[in-house]
Structure 1
Amino acid sequence: MTPTLNQPRKSTDSANFRVDLQGLRALAVLLVMCYHIWFSKVSGGVDIFLMLSAFFLTSSTARRISRGERPPLITGWLHRFSRLIPQAAVVIISVVIAAWVLLPSNRWLELIDQSTASLFYKQNWYLANHQVDYYDFNTSSASPLQHFWSLSVQGQIFILWPVVLAVSALVWKLFFKRISFAWVASAFFAVIFACSLVFSINITADDQQVAYFHTGARLWEFALGSLLALALPWISTLPEKFRRIAGWAGMVTIIGSGAVLDVQGQFPGYMALIPTVAAALIISAPARRAWANPSGVLSLKPLVKLGDLSYGMYLWHWPMLVFYLELTKKEHASFLAGSLLIAAAIFASWCTTKFIEKPVIAWQQNFGFPRWMPQAGLKAISQIAVVAIGLGIASLSVTAWENNVEHRRALAASQTVTDNPGATVSDDWDPSPAALTLPLGTELEDEWQMPGNSCAGSNDPQDERIMFCEQGGNFDGSPDLVMLGDSHMQHWSSAAAAAIEESGGSWILVYHPGCRYGYTVDAEKPECADFQEAAEEYVTNLAPKMVLTNASKTVADPDEYLRSPGEQEVMVDNYAQAIQPFLDEGSQVIAMRDTPRFTYSIPECVDSNANNLQACDAPAHELLAQVNPVQEFLADHDYGNQVVSLDMTGLLCPQGVCKAVIGNVSVYLDDTHLSKTFVLSAKRQFADAFREATGWK
C-alpha cells in the first residue's frame, strides 16, 4: 500500500513526471484509509501502490540504460531507502512509545518483534510465519504495525528489481544490442510475471493467509508495472479515444473494487489483476489535463497535494486507527471519528513530510565535505548516514522497550510466595504494593500446561488422529488416571497430575484443542470427530482406574434469545453415550464442571485496571448455571459411585464472584483458560476435592 518515493515530486523536476499519477496515489491511499477505517476491509489499493512503485522504478532506470548509462545498484538502493526510512522510523518510534504506554503487556513481545521486522523490511514474512492458531493470544487485536507488511514487500523489490534490470542490461549489451533494451527487459519481466502469477494463484488457493503476505505471490504485480513502463511508448500510439474510455473504465473499477471484491479473502491470486489492470488503464490513458481524460481529474491540485503526502498518510492512518479502537473499546469507527482520523493522518503526514523528510533530503543535497571530494561519494555518504541514523534511533527505542521487559522479569523472579500466594492466600494476607501480579503479561506463552513427557511405549496411541498425549508418574500396568478432553481439561492437568503423583500413581493426558469429548461435532471441524473416535478406542483399551473429563459446557456471550452465559451452561449432549465404553471396562468416570468464560482477556483487563481489579471480576450466576448441570445429570442416571462429580467453582468463584486475580496471581491466561501459575498454586485444593469426589488415597 506504500507509495514509492523514488520519483521526483514536482512536474518541474522532470519532463517525464506525470502529475496525474500523484493524484492516482492520492486516490489509492484515500480508498485504503476509508475501507480500513469505516468498513474494516481492504480495498485493493495495496496492489495499485505495488504496481506503481515498479512502474516508476523501471521507467527511470530503463531511460538511463537506454542512454548508455550504467544501471544504479548501490547508489539506487541508498537513494530509495534514505527517502523511505526517516518517516518510517518516526512512525515506528511513535508506535513503540504509544504501545508501551497504552497497550497491555501481553501484547508487548509480539510488537517488539514486529517493530524490528518492520524496521528491517521483513514484516510480511513475520506475519506469514505467525498465522492464527489456537494458542495465539492476540488474534483478536490488530497490530499497529501490521500495515508495514507492504512496505517490507516493496523494500525487498527495491533491492531485487535493480538487479533484474542490471542483468537485463548486461544481456542486452552482450547479445541483443541491435534491438531495443525494452524488449530484452520485457522478456525478463514477462517470465517473472507468468511464474509469479501461477504461484500466486496456487498458494492463494492452498493457503490464502500466507499468500497475502508472500513476496513471491506479489512479484507479478511489480512485473506488471515494469511491463507497463516498458510498453508505454508503444501504448501511447494507440487511438486516444480508445485509451480515454479504457482509462475511465479503470477509474470506475478502482473505486468499486473494494466494495465488490473480497480483497482480503481472495487476493493476491488472479483476482488482483482487476485493480492492477485498472490502474494500468489509467496510466495508459492520454496524459492530458482536460476534463475528458482521467488525468484531468487526477491532476486536480488537492489530489496532487495529497499524493505528495500519500506515503505518510499510509504510514500514520493504521496505527492511529488501532490505538483509537483500543482506547475506546470499539470495533469500528463512526463516520465522525473516521473523518477525524483521516484528517489526523493527513496532518501527521504533512508534519513528518515537512519537518522530517524534506529537511533530510535538503541535508543530503548540501552535505558539507571538501569540494575536491567526488560529489557522488558525498551523496552516498550522506545517504548512508541517513539510513544508519534512522535505523539506529528506531532500534534504540525498541531496545529500551526490551530492557524494560527484562527488568520486569527480574523483579518478578525475585518475588516470593508471600508476594504471590495465589490460591493459598489467607484471610490475613497483607500484599506488598510493589509486588507484580503473576504471571507477567509477557510470559503468558509459558502458561499453557503440558506436564510430564510425551506418551511412549505401550501408552503411545500409535494413531495419527491423536495429536497430543502426555504421561507421568509410576506406571505398573494400566494408568491410574486418564485426563481426556480439550484445552479446558489441559488447563487442570498440572494439578491433577500432581495429585496422582503424590500418591505414587500414574496418569495420561489426551486432548485436542477445541474438541470437547462427547460434544456434538461441528461439521466444520472434522478433526474433532476423528479425535473422539480415536480417543474413545485408545482410553477403552487402556482401561484406567479413572477417567477425568469435562462434563458441562460453558459459553461467554449471551445468545440470540438474550440468555446469559449462566443460563446456557449445559451438559455435554452426548456425555452418557461417550463415557459408556469406559464404564463397561470398569473405569470410574469423574465428570468435571466446566470453567467460567469471560468476554475479555483477563490479563489485559488486569493491566488496564491495576488499581481496581474488581472491575475484571464477574458474578458467578451470570457465568454459570444456578445448579451444576453435572449434579442434575447424575440425579437422572443410576451410576452409583462409578460416575462422580468434581466442581472447582468454589475455588474460582469464592463467595459467588468469579475472580480475575486471587492472591496476586492472575487466574486466567486469556479469556477462558486458567494460568499454570494459578493452577499450581491450587494443587492442594484440587487434590482435596479430587480425593473427596473419587475416594482416591
Structure 2
Amino acid sequence: MSSPVSVAPVRPVTRVAQIRGDLDGLRGLAIALVVVYHVWFGRVSGGVDVFLVLSGFFLGGRLLRQAAGDQPDESWPRAIVRIVRRLVPALVIVLAASAVLTVLVQPQTRWEEFADQGLASLFYWQNWYLADTANDYLRAGEAVSPLQHIWSMSVQGQFFVGVLTVAAVLALVVRVVGATRHRRTVLIGTLALATVLSFWYANVAHQLDQSHAYYDTFARAWELLAGMLAAAAISAVRWPGWLRATAAITGLVAILACGVLLDGADEFPGPWALVPVAATVLLIFSGAGQTDRMPAPNRLLAAAPLVTLGTIAYSLYLWHWPLLIFWLAHTDQDRVGLRDGVVIIALSLALAYLTARLVEDPLRVGASSKTRAAHRLPTPPGYGVLALGGLVTVLAVALVVSSLAWRGHVEAVRANGVELQTLSTRDYPGAQALLENTRVAKLPMRPTVLEAGDDLPATTLDQCITDFASVEVLRCVYGDTTASRTIALAGGSHSEHWITALDLLGRTHGFRVVTYLKMGCPLSTDDDPRIAGSEDPYPLCKVWVRAAMDALKADRPDYVFTTTTRPHPNGPGDRVPDSYVGIWDELSANELAILGLRDTPWMFRDGILFSPVDCLSEGGDPESCGLPRSEALADRNPTLEHADRYPLMSVLDVSDAVCRPDVCRAVEGNVLVYHDAHHLSATYVRTLADELGRQLSDATGWW
C-alpha cells in the first residue's frame, strides 16, 4: 500500500523552477496503479516507491535552492506548519469518516484496534505501530485495518521533519564556521551518506525481519533520499535525445510491470525496491530541461487526465482503501468483483475531488496571492478558512477523546478478567455441560466479547512462545516445576492453548510441563511451510522445527504432547498431513513417547476463517456463530488410521467436549469457546482439564 504524499514545491524568488507536468502525471499514474491493484488484485503495485521518490525530489529541490541562495530560507517552525497544513486536514476528515463507518459497519471487537490505529495515524506513528504488531500472531487472523495504508504517510511525515531538522542544523553550522558558500555541497554530501547508510540498513533489516522492515522509516528513507539526490543531480543532466527516450521508456515500462512481476509485500524494502525507485529517477531525468521536447513517455504522462488525477492523488489515496475495506466488511467478502470495484473507485474519485477542492486547497501551503496563483488555488474568504480550520481541529480533538475513552472502557471491562479463573463451575461449566448433558442457567457469557482478546494462554502472556521472526527455542516450565516426570508441549499455537489445562493437571498430579512453542509453526517435516490462514511462506518455521527436535532429543521428556491433525485444505473435515507423520517417525526412532491430540476445529466458512467473537458482537447467537461439525471434523479421528504404526503414540481426542454431535457452537456452558477464529479461550480450556486429565491418565498411568 502506498501514499501519494508529496510536498508541493514553493517557487523560488530569483529563479523560476521548472513546472513538470509529466511528474504530476506520474503521480496520477502511480495512484491509478495503487487503486487498481488494491481493489482487484490485492497486491502492492510499487506506487509507494514512486511517491516516496517524488516526495524526496520536491523536498530536495526546495532545500537545495535555499542552500544555493536561489530561494529565501524558511524557518523550521514555518516549514513544519506548512507541511501540517498540507497533509493533516484531509487526513483528519478521512479518519473521522472512518470512525463513523467503523461504528456502523464493524463489530465492537474491532473498535479498540481502530482507536489504536486512529491515534497512531493522527500522530504519524502508524508505520511503527504496524511494525510492532507485524509479528503478533494474535493479530494474524484479524481483518485488514481500514487505516493500514496510512503507514507510508507516517514514514513521509517523519522523514520530512527529520530532513528539515538536519537541514536547519547544517545551515546553522556552516553559518557559524563561515562556510556558507559550501552549504549546498555539505547538504548533498550528507544526503549521499544517509542514502548509502539507509540502503545498507534496509537490506540488513529485510533479511532479519522483512515484515518489520517493510514499515521501518529508516529502511524506507533511502527511497526518499534517492529523490533528493535526483534533485541535486538534475541540473547536470545533458543527455542526448535517444538516451532520454530510452530512459523514459525503460522507466515507464518498469513502473507498469512492477506490480505484475514483483511481490512488493514480500520483496520491499530490499534490493528489488530499486526497480520502481530507479524507474522514477529515470523519468525525472528524461524530462529534465525539456519542457518543449520531452520524450514521448513524458509527454504521455503530461496529458491532462493523468495530471488532473495527480492533483487529487493524495485525497484519492486516503479514501480508496477505507472504502474498500468497509465494503468488504459490510458484504462479508474477501474481494470485490468488477462492478463493485468500479463503484468503489468512482466513489473514491468523487470524495477525493471534494476533499481536494473543499479541504486541501483552501488550507494548503501558502496564503499569499502569489502562491495561490502558482498552484491555481481559489482565494477563499478569511472567515471561511478560519471556519474550516476550526472544523478540522474539532474533529481531530473528537477523534483523540473518543479513541482514548473507548480504550479506557475496554481496559475497565478487561480488568474484571481476573474473575475468569475463579468462575463458578455450576454457573459456568463450559465443556462439562456437553460431557454431562447438564442444564445450564441463563447467565451472561464469559469471557465477554471485549474480554476475549485478553483470555490467552499463560505462555503468550509470559512471552514463552517464539515469535514469527525468531528461531530461538524457548523453554518455560509449568505445572509442578519440581517434579521428575515431564511432558513436553511442542508445536504451534494449537499446541500452546492446551497449556492452561496441562498447567492445572501438572500441579494436581505431580508432573511438569516444558514448552517448545513457535507462533504458527506445528511440528512438521514440510520443506515449504506456510503461515496458517494467510498461506504466506514461513521458512523460519522449518529452521525452528529442526532446532526444537534437536532440543527434544537432548532433553528426553517422558512424553511429547503435540497436535496430530489439521483442517483439510479442500474441506470439509480434518486430516493428518504427511509432514506430521515424518515427525512421528523421528520421535519414535528416538524412543520418545507421543501424546497426539486431535486438533480442535478451525472456524472456516466457505473457505474463509471467521471469528465467532465478531459474529457474537454483531448480534449472532452461539449456533449461528458456530459451524456444522461435519464441516470442521471428519466422522472418525484421522489419527487413528496411523495409530498401529506408532506404538509409542497415545491418541487423544476431546472433540466431544468442544462440539455437539451436529454443531460446534461458539458458546457452551455459558463460556465462550474461541477467543478468535481458531484458538480456544483460556477459560474454556480450563473447563476441559477434567476430560483431558482422564485421557492423560489412561495414556500415562501416572494417576
Q: TM-score range by the shorter chain?
A: 0.7 to 0.9
Q: Could you tell me how far apart the structure 2 residues matched to 1:454 and 1:333 are?
A: 38
The 1:261–1:630 alpha-carbon spacing in structure 2 relative to 1, beyond 3 Å, is closer
The 1:171–1:16 alpha-carbon spacing in structure 2 relative to 1, beyond 3 Å, is farther
Q: Say whether residues 1:38 and 2:40 are aligned partners.
A: yes
The 1:4–1:616 alpha-carbon spacing in structure 2 relative to 1, beyond 3 Å, is closer
- Contact kept, 8 Å, 2:574 with 2:638, in 1: the verdict is no
Per-residue displacement from partner, 1:301-354 (whole Å, max 9, x unpaired)?
322222221111111111222222333343333233222222121112122223
User: 1:316 maps to which residue?
Assistant: 319
The residue type equivalent to 1:549 in the other structure is F
The 1:222–1:385 alpha-carbon spacing in structure 2 relative to 1, beyond 3 Å, is farther
Identify which range, 525-534 or 601-610, moves more after superposition.
Answer: 601-610
* Equivalent position to 1:664, from 665, 670, 673: 670
Q: Could you tell me how far apart the structure 2 residues matched to 1:509 and 1:387 are?
A: 55
- Contact kept, 8 Å, 1:143 with 1:322, in 2: the verdict is yes
User: 2:87 maps to which residue?
Assistant: 84
User: 2:637 maps to which residue?
Assistant: 628
Q: Say whether residues 1:423 and 2:431 are aligned partners.
A: yes
- CA drift at 1:34: 1.4
User: 1:469 maps to which residue?
Assistant: 476
- CA drift at 1:30: 0.9
- Contact kept, 8 Å, 1:483 with 1:509, in 2: the verdict is yes
User: 2:148 maps to which residue?
Assistant: 146
The residue type equivalent to 2:263 in the other structure is D
- Contact kept, 8 Å, 2:478 with 2:506, in 1: the verdict is no
The 1:493–1:53 alpha-carbon spacing in structure 2 relative to 1, beyond 3 Å, is closer
Q: Say whether residues 1:538 and 2:520 are aligned partners.
A: no
**Secondary structure of the equivalent of 2:360?**
helix
Q: Could you tell me how far apart the structure 2 residues matched to 1:678 and 1:651 are?
A: 10
Map 1:143-542; keep pairs closer than 5 Å: 143-170=145-172, 173=175, 182-235=184-237, 238-239=239-240, 242-284=243-285, 285=287, 286-288=289-291, 293-361=296-364, 389=394, 391-406=396-411, 408-409=413-414, 417=424, 420-425=428-433, 427-432=438-443, 435-441=444-450, 443-450=452-459, 466-473=473-480, 475=482, 478-479=484-485, 483=489, 486-503=492-509, 505-513=510-518, 516=522, 520=525, 522=527, 524=539, 525-540=542-557
- CA drift at 1:594: 3.4
Q: Could you tell me how far apart the structure 1 residues matched to 2:599 and 2:221 are?
A: 49
The 1:480–1:451 alpha-carbon spacing in structure 2 relative to 1, beyond 3 Å, is farther
The 1:619–1:275 alpha-carbon spacing in structure 2 relative to 1, beyond 3 Å, is closer
Per-residue displacement from partner, 1:219-245 (whole Å, max 9, x unpaired)?
22222222222333333x554564355
The 1:244–1:10 alpha-carbon spacing in structure 2 relative to 1, beyond 3 Å, is farther
- Contact kept, 8 Å, 1:569 with 1:624, in 2: the verdict is no
- Contact kept, 8 Å, 2:92 with 2:392, in 1: the verdict is no
Per-residue displacement from partner, 1:13-40 (whole Å, max 9, x unpaired)?
x865433332221111111111222222
Q: Could you tell me how far apart the structure 1 residues matched to 2:388 and 2:201 are?
A: 36
- CA drift at 1:150: 1.0
Q: Could you tell me how far apart the structure 2 residues matched to 1:638 and 1:344 are?
A: 60
The residue type equivalent to 1:24 in the other structure is L
Number of residue pairs aligned between Structure 1 and Structure 2:
653
Q: Could you tell me how far apart the structure 2 residues matched to 1:300 and 1:465 are?
A: 55
The 1:654–1:565 alpha-carbon spacing in structure 2 relative to 1, beyond 3 Å, is closer
The residue type equivalent to 1:472 in the other structure is G
The 1:128–1:170 alpha-carbon spacing in structure 2 relative to 1, beyond 3 Å, is same
Identify which range, 149-158 or 332-341, moves more after superposition.
Answer: 332-341
Map 1:549-628; keep pairs closer than 5 Å: 549-550=561-562, 553-559=564-570, 564-566=572-574, 572=581, 575=584, 578-579=587-588, 590-599=595-604, 600-604=609-613, 606-607=615-616, 610-628=619-637
The 1:238–1:100 alpha-carbon spacing in structure 2 relative to 1, beyond 3 Å, is same
Q: Could you tell me how far apart the structure 2 residues matched to 1:484 and 1:32 are?
A: 42
- Contact kept, 8 Å, 2:141 with 2:677, in 1: the verdict is no
User: 2:689 maps to which residue?
Assistant: 683
**Secondary structure of the equivalent of 2:624?**
helix
**Secondary structure of the equivalent of 2:477?**
strand
**Secondary structure of the equivalent of 1:225?**
helix
- CA drift at 1:438: 1.8
Q: Could you tell me how far apart the structure 2 residues matched to 1:569 and 1:59 are?
A: 58
- CA drift at 1:80: 0.8
User: 1:51 maps to which residue?
Assistant: 53
The residue type equivalent to 1:193 in the other structure is T
Q: Could you tell me how far apart the structure 2 residues matched to 1:521 and 1:21 are?
A: 48
Aligned-pair identity in percent equals 31
Q: TM-score, normalised by structure 1?
A: 0.81
Q: Could you tell me how far apart the structure 2 residues matched to 1:296 and 1:322 are?
A: 35
- CA drift at 1:139: 4.7
- CA drift at 1:111: 3.3
Identify which range, 147-156 or 409-418, moves more after superposition.
Answer: 409-418
The residue type equivalent to 1:618 in the other structure is L
Q: Could you tell me how far apart the structure 1 residues matched to 2:678 and 2:99 are?
A: 29
User: 2:7 maps to which residue?
Assistant: 6
- Contact kept, 8 Å, 1:325 with 1:332, in 2: the verdict is yes
Identify which range, 306-315 or 157-166, moves more after superposition.
Answer: 157-166
**Secondary structure of the equivalent of 1:616?**
coil
Q: Could you tell me how far apart the structure 2 residues matched to 1:241 and 1:574 are?
A: 62
- Residue ranges of structure 2 left out of the alignment (5+ in a row): 370-382, 465-470, 529-538
- Contact kept, 8 Å, 1:494 with 1:680, in 2: the verdict is yes
Q: Could you tell me how far apart the structure 2 residues matched to 1:212 and 1:466 are?
A: 26
- Contact kept, 8 Å, 1:3 with 1:311, in 2: the verdict is yes
**Secondary structure of the equivalent of 2:476?**
strand
Per-residue displacement from partner, 1:36-56 (whole Å, max 9, x unpaired)?
222222122211211212222
- CA drift at 1:194: 2.4
Q: Could you tell me how far apart the structure 1 residues matched to 2:232 and 2:297 are?
A: 21
Q: Could you tell me how far apart the structure 1 residues matched to 2:410 and 2:218 are?
A: 35
Q: Could you tell me how far apart the structure 1 residues matched to 2:462 and 2:219 are?
A: 40
The 1:420–1:410 alpha-carbon spacing in structure 2 relative to 1, beyond 3 Å, is farther
Q: Could you tell me how far apart the structure 2 residues matched to 1:407 and 1:665 are?
A: 20
The 1:176–1:491 alpha-carbon spacing in structure 2 relative to 1, beyond 3 Å, is same
Per-residue displacement from partner, 1:541-593 (whole Å, max 9, x unpaired)?
xxx5xx3634x62222344xxx632465898466476357668xxx8x65543
The 1:507–1:142 alpha-carbon spacing in structure 2 relative to 1, beyond 3 Å, is same
- Contact kept, 8 Å, 1:289 with 1:297, in 2: the verdict is no
Q: Could you tell me how far apart the structure 2 residues matched to 1:177 and 1:253 are?
A: 42
- Contact kept, 8 Å, 1:592 with 1:646, in 2: the verdict is yes
The 1:175–1:448 alpha-carbon spacing in structure 2 relative to 1, beyond 3 Å, is same
**Secondary structure of the equivalent of 1:226?**
helix
The 1:679–1:661 alpha-carbon spacing in structure 2 relative to 1, beyond 3 Å, is same
Q: Say whether residues 1:74 and 2:77 are aligned partners.
A: yes
